[in-house]
Chain A
């Protein structure tokens, strides 16, 4: 079985691809190449650069881990693109916050801890992105970090 980190990331991708957002099925996980304009609107999911933290529960022998995941919804267009990116961000939040599949993996909670908007007119079109940082708190035993407890 994959590490719970991977299970969470896969679950986020599956959820958002099926969530009927403006990005439709253009949901990418661990994408290493820049999106093409033709891909937009799209959602990119990746583990946060701040990674994951782990703390032992001394009595039970279970670890609490908090995985940070960045989710970005990118949109192209004209003057309405920033609002469209926020609307895509809203769709992402609603899907993530109400997902039973994510809650089953992250029994300690799924919550958004930050978001920001980036708008740029440097390219041939206005491109905007709503970036969200999510925290997934889950529990595992140190010897089996692929099984949530």
Chain B
């Protein structure tokens, strides 16, 4: 019986995770590129910054690394009608990438 490579299993597992757990479709526009849709797990947890002086949220989105292999700071994501800039892409090395987001200026 042929067995799939670990990499192929990882791709299948990540695809399943994104298909079942994603909670938004993001319009992703690489710098100088064309917008395309991708599934994301969007999160905007409450947080306080500057020693608790100001309440804020920390928006981030997890996507499949295959959907945005060259994502970079400054790329644009529109999620639920809100425009964000990618501040920091953080690939986990296992096929998913967390994108720290900030409201577009």
Contacts and interface: CB of A to CB of B under 8 A. Distances in A.
Interface residues of A, number: 24
B52 A124 contact: no
Contact of B49 (A72, A77, A78, A120): A120
Interface residues of B, number: 20
Contacts, number: 63
A78 B74 CA distance: 13
Contacts of A129: 50, 53-54
B54 A127 contact: yes
Given A79-B105, A124-B102, A124-B103, A34 B48 contact: yes
B58 A34 contact: no
Interface of A: 33-37, 40, 44, 72, 74, 76-79, 118, 120-129
Given A123-B49, A124-B44, A124-B56, 5 more contacts: A72-B53, A78-B105, A125-B56, A127-B54, A129-B53
5 contacts: A34-B48, A78-B105, A123-B54, A123-B58, A124-B102
